[in-house]
Amino acid sequence: MRTPPFELHNPSSLDEALAIAGELNAAGQAFDWIAGGTDLLPNYKWHINVKPHVISLAKVRELSEFNPTHIGAMVRLHDLAESDQTHPVLAKAADSIASVLIRRSGTVGGNICLDTRCYWFNQTEQWRESIDWCHKCDCGTDADCRVIPNQNTLCVATYQADLAPVLMCLDATIHLASPDGKRSMPLSEFFQLDGMTRNVLQPGELVTHLTIPEEAGEWQGDYQKLRQRESWDFPEAGVAVLWKRNGGAKPAGLRVATTGLESIPGLHDEQAQAALSDWNGKETIDTLAEAVRKAVKPVQNTWSAPSYRRKMVKVLTRRACAGMLEGAE
Amino acid sequence: MADSDENSAADKNEDEMVGYRQQPGKLPFAKPGSGGKDRFSRPTDDAMIPESQGGQKAQPWGPHRHDGLVSGQVIGKPTALVDSRWKVTGQAHYGDDVRLAGELIGRIIRSPHHYARVLSIDCSKALELPGVVAIATGADAANKFGVLPVTKDEHAMAVEKARHAGDLVACVAAEDEATAREAERLIEVEYEILDSIHDMRDGLEDSENPIHDRGRYHIGEANVQKRVFQEFGDIDGMASSAVASHKQNWLFAGVNHAATEPHAVVAHWDPSGRLTLYTPQQVPHYVHRALADVLEVPMHQINVHRTFVGGGFGGKSDPFPHEMCAAILARKSGRPVRICFDREEVYWINRGRHPSRIEMNLHADDEGRICGIETDALIDGGAFASFGHVTTYYNGVLHTAPYEIGAFHYTGARVWTNKPASGAMRGHGAVNSRCAVETGLDDLAEQLSVDPITLRLANLLPPHSATITGFRVTSIGMRECLERVKEASGWDEKFRKMPLGKGIGIGCGFFISGSGLPIHWDPNKFPHATVHLKIDMDGGVTVHTGAADIGQGSDTVVAQSVAEVLGLPLDMIRVKSRDSDTSPVDLGSYSSRVTFMNANAAISAAMQIRDELLDATAEITGADRTKLVIGDRRIFAKNDPAVGVSYLEALHKAQEDRGALVASGAYRTPPMGRTHKGAAAGLAPAYSFSAYVAEVSVDVETGQTKVEKVWAAHDCGKALNPLSVKGQIIGSCHMGMGQVLSEEMRYGRSGHLMNPDLLDYKIPSVHEMPEVVPIIVESNDPEGPFGAKEAGEGPLLPILPAVCNAVYDAVGVRTAELPITPDRMHKLIEKKCKSSGVKDPLDLSAPRLEHSALQDTLASRAAEHAERDLARRLDDDRQPYHNGALFGLDPTIPPDEVDERWAVNVIPSEEYLASPRLAGSAWKHTERRHRGDA
């Protein structure tokens, strides 16, 4: 394993980082941002989409700000999981990511921007050569997709990060910065198909932080994750369900989001609203779980079979909703 | 300090040393203390001295021939491995830690194709790259090699064809790794792609381009590498007398050893023209031979240096092509060459457990006897033979015990496919078929409505018996293993009584303690293991052994054996086991042979030194030689302990005429076994036995299975080092649990290995690891060193069926495909729901058991047999016992000699070939004198 050579830039402020990005952009030089490096460096070692320049955010202090309504992109996953400032469901999701070593290094921004994953893609260069490459990293060969062949357009690599569904259910806003200025949007609008595009980030743009509405504290819920082992493994499926109460058995608000199933995480607003409008306790939860199952279409590119992952979405949704009935009178 | 004051006071009396007279005018040549760090001997630990020698150590299994050698030092005490401090302080040098001045880095160029003819290799661009020093291709090494002399089918690099994606095609040595990797890309190889075979079933068919051309003895035009047919016992009678029959078609995924240390090697041709190869190897001697073959250099010009080994498990027990590559590049470049694998290269070299299709049929008669086992095993060998010849036999013969059976029918075949080669992995060849047998027995018990542990207890072979295939079994602790796990686990309160999703299951194991036949020579012409001892005036003992310590603790066990016999503390023993230049030939660390064979050789060498020390003591003290015993660094008269000398005094006396004492001890297996073709496969001087109970919980909605607790009893004869034995048991549980629940080498639709990395090759993490309660059973093997047998591989076998059977107890689902990943389990549960007419899996019912009348019959037979076994193990004048006695035959004669219905047959009949089982169909091909012959 050897990381290919690249030039490392070490800005000490956001402005400096953006300036470097602007210069590289202008010079037509490709680059990657590096935060915790737990996603990027393994990919680099496997020679996956390597760039000649890497800009480190390690010294950019303003990205590490952290309070209940503001989570900087450079906040470590471990700190997010351990802090009592973190919404409990978000803390649960953060605590389930990879292993303790990776959480100590990995960051919130890195997790949100986690590269999509695929059996035919996350492999060494020698291995990928043996399948004649794939179009997510084709080394200039115009290779086809190996998961669903004969369609050289769509990449179906899977988004397997845990924080996004919970943050989407918390109605988080994501804040971006680039040499051309700043912009913000609901997190659910940040992600963009397909598995290669992944999100709206433009060259030179980065995630600075997320904001969470004050009222997030009123929302309760759960995050359920499916995987082979209780450590290391990426989610084969993940379901976040958050709800808000106002006294009655029927929740006043309900949000459901999934991850690990498609190329982007999904916020299932339509299904959640349908459940609220036709609320009937446990039965509704079963209907909702079935609706969410129908809404996702995993493909065969991770450890577990797609049909199984899809079926499990139903079980996970039901389990994530369990607390909703418990608290109700 | 008080201690040192005492010592200096003692020093003043040095002229008054008893039993040592100075010659006037001559300097004393050394001051004989007792030897060791502490100058005073400790009193003998009576609790460690066996009853037979007048000590306190109870011997419920009778005395042992080594009892008289017990000095109470280290044997049987939990002992930290002698090299553990090197490892825990990070000072142990593994394969890739070797740094020689001027080293080059080697990289392997591998085939991207499953199966391809190599048409040309153009190295010109790579050679122009600054920093590239040497490049080698198949043309540099034409000679074949392989771990077994009968199946040498490997080249250092592809000579004509590359046989799997990842097969070696060329190699390059450069000044640094970056340059070597750059050069890799510049080497242009032209291939002609051939049709590849991935499904093992296709390997049975004729092929236009067989993966190997065996020339002589090619089996048809097929890719069959080895086939076995065996019939023993009353084959015709088994089906007719059966009242319960089990049939299951298993599919086992291949698994890899996934040792922490990837393979690495350093080769160096020194100025005197000798090659030293530094390699983390389990079988340095086989590497030694293969290097001589491939490099065409006499063996004495090669020194194989075994580095510390970061895990072997069978994954480092072949001579490897990359070792040849390093040597070839070093010879070409005149500089040391180091090659270290990336993780996926470890998967490409593989030698893991064979992917297998096993059909298992078991029959039980109305008395609850196992009247027949019919096994058909097709195993996927991948691209090379490796140990596969043996594996093909082991898949059958290693489940002919511990049960007494009425008939055994085995057909096995190993085929070549275009995948990384399978080989020997911990539990070699026995693991998969054992899983099938033990889950089958559970099913038979279910059909007969009896307890599966009682069923097993009522069908065990007694100690000192012969199996149906004629294996000589000596000590058997199987019954005690079963009884102890039954009690410890609370079996009777739990089995078939736990709620849905919770279950408990039993599994047993039987494994060889050393292979009876040394592969390369006649056992009567050369011993299996040799150990040399050298002791000079300092009193420390240098042990030279070729046994490869791969982390299992062979250095420690050899040191312990010598220390025990000579009455020395462990720190006075230094083991030199690394260099073939100085080590006597040893076959290596495989087939669980090292403790049994090497410790026996070490004891035999130490006994010679012991004799010399006793002679010297008798001479000094004038005491009766026969009364002398050895304690801690002191030799004294048993009847009058005040009469005696220190170890060093005796040693120096013994050295008077000859200087350093040297001794050589060897071990060879006794003559045993029968004479049919393949009779030697599975033959061992002793066998280990084990029984595990696993408790699991299954999430019936997600199909996720978690092992909650394991009670693991293993009969290792005698735990020379209980700490190591427990470690082996716990580690085996982990490894076996991986195979049963999550580990698999998964091949994608295009035939590629999809998970050659440790993220997607799912080794259980600490979260998945249950509490394991190791239970050591000591059956006191008559031929084992101090009674010991193996504990390294056998303990792996029972965990797989124990988990499978526990899963059945939890949800009533029998799996026949491993690993039981959640998606596979979920499918089975869905099917079960459908067949039970249940919509929600939470409404399923767990299986329950109501004993039939047979239960009492079996229980009383088990009780009778327990008495029979006890009598046999304590009686030295016991009669022979051949498998078959349970079926009413004379136990003292092999059954085929008294009953014509009991056959021994190793050639399939026309009748069988008319409708063979899957692997059996390999016998439809005619073996050719030359491939292409009619």
Residue-wise pLDDT for B714-731, tens only, equals 999 999 999 999 999 999
Point out the least confidently predicted range of A285-299, B327-341, B916-930: B916-930
Alpha helices in B576-700 (DSSP H): 594-621, 647-655
Residues of chain B with CATH 3.90.1170.50: 95-199+260-342
A257 in Cβ contact with A268 (< 8 Å): yes
Contact A124 B748 (CB under 8 A): no
A213 and chain B in contact, CB less than 8 A:
no
Report the residue from B748, B764, B768 with minimal CB separation from A119: B748
Alpha helices in A136-241 (DSSP H): 163-169
Chain B residues in contact with A304 (beta carbon < 8 A): 821-823
Chain B residues in contact with A235 (beta carbon < 8 A): none
Report the residue from B110, B181, B760 with minimal CB separation from A303: B760
Largest CA distance in chain A: 64
* Separation CA B438–CA B796 (nearest Å): 13
Three-class secondary structure assignment of B147-192: CCHHHCCECCCCCCEECCCCCEEEEEEECCHHHHHHHHHHCEEEEE
A76 in Cβ contact with A104 (< 8 Å): yes
From A189's Cα to the closest Cα of chain B, the distance in A is: 31
Q: What pLDDT is attached to residue B534?
A: 98
- Res B27 pLDDT > 60: no
From B102's Cα to the closest Cα of chain A, the distance in A is: 21
User: Going by C-beta distance under 8 Å and a sequence separation of 6 or more, which residues neighbour residue B775?
Assistant: B481, B484, B485, B488, B711, B712, B713, B714
DSSP B103: -
Q: What pLDDT is attached to residue A152?
A: 64
Q: Where are the beta strands (DSSP E) in B827-902?
A: none
Q: The dihedral of CA A150, A154, A155, A158: what is its sign?
A: negative
Contact B826 A311 (CB under 8 A): yes
B2 and chain A in contact, CB less than 8 A:
no
Residue of B nearest to A126 (CA): B112
Question: Residue B28: which of B39, B38, B41, B17 has the closest Cα?
Answer: B17
Chain B residues in contact with A39 (beta carbon < 8 A): none
CA angle, A133 as apex, A132 and A134 as ends, to 5°? 130
* Separation CA A139–CA B184 (nearest Å): 16
Q: Where are the beta strands (DSSP E) in B628-743?
A: 628-631, 634-637, 644-646, 661-667, 687-699, 704-715
* Separation CA B168–CA B28 (nearest Å): 63
The pLDDT tens digits for B136-187 are 999 999 999 999 998 999 999 999 999 999 999 999 999 999 999 999 999 9
Contact B344 A131 (CB under 8 A): no
A139 and chain B in contact, CB less than 8 A:
no
Report the residue from B181, B752, B767 with minimal CB separation from A2: B181
CB burial of B212-245 (b: ≥16 within 10 Å; e: otherwise) equals: bebeeebbbbbbbbbbbbbbbbbbebbeebbebb
Question: Residue A224: which of A109, A293, A114, A315 has the closest Cα?
Answer: A315
A281 in Cβ contact with A249 (< 8 Å): yes
CA angle, A269 as apex, A265 and A275 as ends, to 5°? 130
CA angle, A28 as apex, A22 and A31 as ends, to 5°? 70
The pLDDT tens digits for B665-703 are 999 999 999 999 999 999 999 999 999 999 999 999 999
B342 and chain A in contact, CB less than 8 A:
yes
Contact A126 B112 (CB under 8 A): yes
* Separation CA B37–CA B679 (nearest Å): 51
Question: B149 φ, ψ to 5°?
Answer: -60, -25
Instruction: Compute the half-sphere exposure of residue B232: CA atoms within 13 Å on the CB side of its CA.
Output: 28
The pLDDT tens digits for B45-100 are 999 999 999 999 999 999 999 999 999 999 999 999 999 999 999 999 999 999 99
Residue B519 pLDDT grade (very low, low, confident, very high; cuts 50, 70, 90): confident
Cα distances (angstroms) measured from residue A110 to each of A24, A33, A203, A209: 21, 9, 16, 11
Write the burial class of residue B860 (CB in 10 Å: 0-12 exposed, 13-18 middle, 19+ buried).
exposed
Write the burial class of residue B927 (CB in 10 Å: 0-12 exposed, 13-18 middle, 19+ buried).
middle
Question: B248 φ, ψ to 5°?
Answer: -145, 140
From B653's Cα to the closest Cα of chain A, the distance in A is: 59
CA angle, B740 as apex, B729 and B700 as ends, to 5°? 120
Q: One-letter amino acid identity for A136?
A: K
* Pairs of residues, one from chain A and one from chain B, whose beta carbons lie less than 8 Å apart: 74
Chain B residues in contact with A131 (beta carbon < 8 A): 750, 752
B767 and chain A in contact, CB less than 8 A:
yes
Q: Would you say how long chain B is, in residues?
A: 934
**Residues 115-174, chain B: which have Cβ within 8 Å of A?**
165-166
Provide mean pLDDT across the span A310-315.
98
* Separation CA B711–CA B487 (nearest Å): 10
A281 in Cβ contact with A201 (< 8 Å): no
A150 and chain B in contact, CB less than 8 A:
no
Contact A119 B754 (CB under 8 A): yes
The pLDDT tens digits for A72-97 are 999 999 999 999 999 999 999 999 99
B706 and chain A in contact, CB less than 8 A:
no
User: Going by C-beta distance under 8 Å and a sequence separation of 6 or more, which residues neighbour residue B115?
Assistant: B161, B162, B163, B164, B193, B194, B195, B196, B197, B209, B211, B418
User: Going by C-beta distance under 8 Å and a sequence separation of 6 or more, which residues neighbour residue B904?
Assistant: B231, B232, B674, B676, B896
Residue of A nearest to B828 (CA): A308
Contact A131 B759 (CB under 8 A): no
Residue B5 pLDDT grade (very low, low, confident, very high; cuts 50, 70, 90): very low
Question: A68 φ, ψ to 5°?
Answer: -55, -25
Q: What pLDDT is attached to residue B6?
A: 46
The pLDDT tens digits for A18-30 are 999 999 999 999 9
* Separation CA A227–CA B759 (nearest Å): 12
Mutate to test the interface with B, among A95, A119, A228, A316 (most CBs of B within 10 A): A228
B178 and chain A in contact, CB less than 8 A:
yes
Contact B762 A303 (CB under 8 A): yes
Helices A269-277 and A282-295 cross at an angle (nearest 10°) of 160
In what helix (H) or strand (E) does residue B321 lie, and over which residues does it extend? helix B321-333
- Res A249 pLDDT > 60: yes
Contact B702 A312 (CB under 8 A): yes
Report the residue from B742, B748, B827 with minimal CB separation from A229: B742
A130 and chain B in contact, CB less than 8 A:
yes
* Separation CA B253–CA B432 (nearest Å): 10
* Separation CA B125–CA A277 (nearest Å): 70
Residue B269, classed as helix, strand or coil, is strand
B769 in Cβ contact with B731 (< 8 Å): no
Domains annotated for chain A, with CATH where assigned, are 217-324 (3.30.390.50)
In what helix (H) or strand (E) does residue B193 lie, and over which residues does it extend? strand B188-193
- Share above pLDDT 70 across residues of chain A, in percent, rounded to a whole number: 99
Q: What pLDDT is attached to residue B931?
A: 59
Chain B residues in contact with A230 (beta carbon < 8 A): 765, 767-768
A147 and chain B in contact, CB less than 8 A:
no
B344 and chain A in contact, CB less than 8 A:
yes
From B823's Cα to the closest Cα of chain A, the distance in A is: 6
Q: Would you say how long chain A is, in residues?
A: 329
Q: Output the CATH code of domain B95-199+260-342.
A: 3.90.1170.50
CATH for B46-90+519-667 (3.40.50.720, 3.30.365.10, 3.40.640.10, 1.10.357.10): 3.30.365.10
Write the burial class of residue B749 (CB in 10 Å: 0-12 exposed, 13-18 middle, 19+ buried).
exposed
A268 and chain B in contact, CB less than 8 A:
no
Contact A229 B748 (CB under 8 A): no
A311 and chain B in contact, CB less than 8 A:
yes
pTM of the model: 0.96
DSSP string, A224-271: EEE-SSSSSPPPSEEEEEEEE-SSSSS-SEEEEEEESSSSS-EE-HHH
B154: left (phi over 0), alpha (psi -120 to 50) or beta: beta
The pLDDT tens digits for B439-474 are 999 999 999 999 999 999 999 999 999 999 999 999
Chain A residues in contact with B342 (beta carbon < 8 A): 1, 124
Instruction: Compute the half-sphere exposure of residue B852: CA atoms within 13 Å on the CB side of its CA.
Output: 14
Question: B519 φ, ψ to 5°?
Answer: -65, -40
Write the burial class of residue A316 (CB in 10 Å: 0-12 exposed, 13-18 middle, 19+ buried).
buried
The pLDDT tens digits for A187-242 are 999 999 999 999 999 999 999 999 999 999 999 999 999 999 999 999 999 999 99
B519 in Cβ contact with B149 (< 8 Å): yes
The pLDDT tens digits for A104-134 are 999 999 999 999 999 999 999 999 999 999 9
Instruction: Compute the half-sphere exposure of residue B510: CA atoms within 13 Å on the CB side of its CA.
Output: 28
Q: What pLDDT is attached to residue B23?
A: 53
Residue B25 pLDDT grade (very low, low, confident, very high; cuts 50, 70, 90): low
Tokens at residue B61, please? 């299994």
Report the residue from A2, A5, A129 with minimal CB separation from B112: A129
Question: Residue B705: which of B608, B804, B849 has the closest Cα?
Answer: B804
B420 and chain A in contact, CB less than 8 A:
no
In what helix (H) or strand (E) does residue B481 lie, and over which residues does it extend? helix B478-489
User: Going by C-beta distance under 8 Å and a sequence separation of 6 or more, which residues neighbour residue B630?
Assistant: B71, B565, B566, B567, B610, B613, B614
A314 and chain B in contact, CB less than 8 A:
no
Helices B647-655 and B594-621 cross at an angle (nearest 10°) of 80
Residue of B nearest to A120 (CA): B754
The pLDDT tens digits for B176-218 are 999 999 999 999 999 999 999 999 999 999 999 999 987 767 8
B503 in Cβ contact with B132 (< 8 Å): no
B487 and chain A in contact, CB less than 8 A:
no
Chain A residues in contact with B742 (beta carbon < 8 A): 228-229
Residues of chain B with CATH 3.30.365.10: 46-90+519-667
Paired strand residues for B340 = B264
CB atoms within 10 A of CB B262: 22
Report the residue from A5, A123, A228 with minimal CB separation from B762: A228
Q: What pLDDT is attached to residue B525?
A: 85
